[in-house]
Structure 1
């Protein structure tokens, strides 16, 4: 496999990313409990032991508590900050007494959000800042001013987006002076529209596929790292026991057989399938459970070992119908 887009840009993160949305317990505004700190420390240490050196945050996760507890973990580990890659996101604002939930890419909000993120994490800089969800009122000139200020001050070293299509990225890129290095989208063995969009070209089925057309190819051409959120599809193929459709059950059984044959974990098969794609997709696993983190660590190897036929078996099983 070729180098990841981030590696081509000199950003040496791990092949897997630990998503930190689950850190710090409940979605409340209370203080961080001792148990929540211990859980975060176990998750962080397990990730590092598993070779994960890149961590994904957002200013809204647990209303800021996720970043705060991660910052406390960093503070207890001298010298760790320089050995890891931290990215966070901004742009989503919760509803309050006067306003609805909304998106905000204004210069003042971006600058204020970054200051808050850095304060909670206890660090002087972010390796990557992502704009969380597209803001219909985005003025690219204003975003460019914010990015320039953050870059010149050393508070942010790289920029990216999340959940954006090609046109939105091109518009933004036309105004900012630095390249967008990441786009984070929901992609998994369960959520297949990112693949079906291409397979259904010139097919009636394409009329019902809703994904950002050309996004995968655009990111590959422009050396933009595609990151996948919810890459394990909430564990549906790796042990979740909720109600499953016939196709989901069949795919889960296939994943289990492949894991047994390859002497690996089901999580590594599911992630390895995603990472086998030529775009070098980078999964963001969202768990604080040490066992589940460990179960993911063989995914990069499984991606290299997975044959074309094995990849297609999983794809066709999950989509539950033959290719056109």
Structure 2
């Protein structure tokens, strides 16, 4: 049975595994419906979107055909990354842009309202008072129930929270057994190697201190260059440890990789970006096991994290 937890300051009871919808454009409408129904059958009630993904209309078509499914879902979307015709992206956290994108996401998704809206990336030009006005209007109009951020350091969350009336309830960060910067910075505190550099502003401590939920994106990714660490020949020691534990618990290595994240003493969701129902079922097996301390450290140190 899928494990769930309550998001603080909300009435939302969320599944530990969430379905990330960034890659669903590769699916036909029938395949997407099969994936959504598979997720719901597995106890996944949380669906993560972003306007920049361009996949909300496809998901919305399924909800337009089957509006009854909306009652089983917690739908989250993100905004502020602007894709430009020429050149790379930029960010926009102006009031009009946030409201306009939230309205567009709701229309695309055929969902009437968003349960959660996240700011996708920190914007150096962000005016927190303008963000506060946008959040308040969306909340007052009952278009968005709750708010959060993605890829924000603790300091910027603290600053933004000072200006807005709504509680920031989640922060979505990149986290995997290889991309473990949020963990490294504490383990290697006061050391001279690069792992000691604070790259997430102690976001794990901030989450625990404020009863904030974290969401781990790319939970099986090593790097943008290497892709997944699962069965990747560049990570033989890590995969050997994962294989041993997968055999012990009679699950797949992906389930062990997800269980490693869920073992952290913080409210956390694993954002599973797979479009394969079979793989999704394998990842969900992570909620059935709890790694021992030794097993967690065996995974952590298997690649490049020798403890001081």
Q: Which residue of 1 aligns with 2:303?
A: 318
Indicate the SS of the match to 1:115.
helix
How well do the aligned residues superpose, as a CA RMSD in angstroms?
A: 1.9
Q: 1:219 to 1:3 in 2, by over 3 A?
A: farther
Q: How does 1:11-50 map to 2 (within 5 A)?
A: 11-25=12-26, 36-50=28-42
Q: 1:96 to 1:322 in 2, by over 3 A?
A: closer
Separation (CA, whole Å) in 2 of partners of 1:24 and 1:317: 35
Q: Are 2:18 and 2:46, in contact at CA under 8 Å, matched by a contact in 1?
A: yes
Could you give the per-residue CA deviations for residues 4-24 of structure 1, whole angstroms, max 9, x where no partner exists? 461663211111110000112
Separation (CA, whole Å) in 1 of partners of 2:92 and 2:48: 20
Q: TM (normalized to structure 1)? A: 0.88
Q: Are 1:237 and 1:266, in contact at CA under 8 Å, matched by a contact in 2?
A: no
Q: 1:15 to 1:197 in 2, by over 3 A?
A: same
Could you give the per-residue CA deviations for residues 67-93 of structure 1, whole angstroms, max 9, x where no partner exists? 111111112224211211000000000
Say yes or no: does 1:59 pair with 2:51.
Answer: yes
Query: Displaced runs of 4+ in structure 1, greater than 6 A?
Result: none
Q: Which residue of 2 aligns with 1:194?
A: 182
Number of aligned residue pairs: 302
Alignment gaps of 5+ in structure 2: none
Could you give the per-residue CA deviations for residues 168-216 of structure 1, whole angstroms, max 9, x where no partner exists? 1111101100100010000000101111100111111257634222211
Q: Are 2:184 and 2:196, in contact at CA under 8 Å, matched by a contact in 1?
A: no
Separation (CA, whole Å) in 2 of partners of 1:39 and 1:291: 13
Indicate the SS of the match to 2:76.
strand
Separation (CA, whole Å) in 2 of partners of 1:212 and 1:267: 25
Q: Which residue of 2 aligns with 1:88?
A: 77
C-alpha deviation, 1:225, in angstroms: 0.8
Q: Are 2:171 and 2:215, in contact at CA under 8 Å, matched by a contact in 1?
A: yes
Q: Which residue of 2 aligns with 1:306?
A: 291
Higher strand share: 2
Indicate the SS of the match to 1:298.
helix
Say yes or no: does 1:272 pair with 2:259.
Answer: yes
C-alpha deviation, 1:108, in angstroms: 0.5
C-alpha deviation, 1:109, in angstroms: 0.3
Alignment gaps of 5+ in structure 1: 26-34
Separation (CA, whole Å) in 1 of partners of 2:84 and 2:67: 37
Q: TM (normalized to structure 2)? A: 0.93
Q: Are 1:5 and 1:223, in contact at CA under 8 Å, matched by a contact in 2?
A: no
Separation (CA, whole Å) in 1 of partners of 2:260 and 2:42: 19
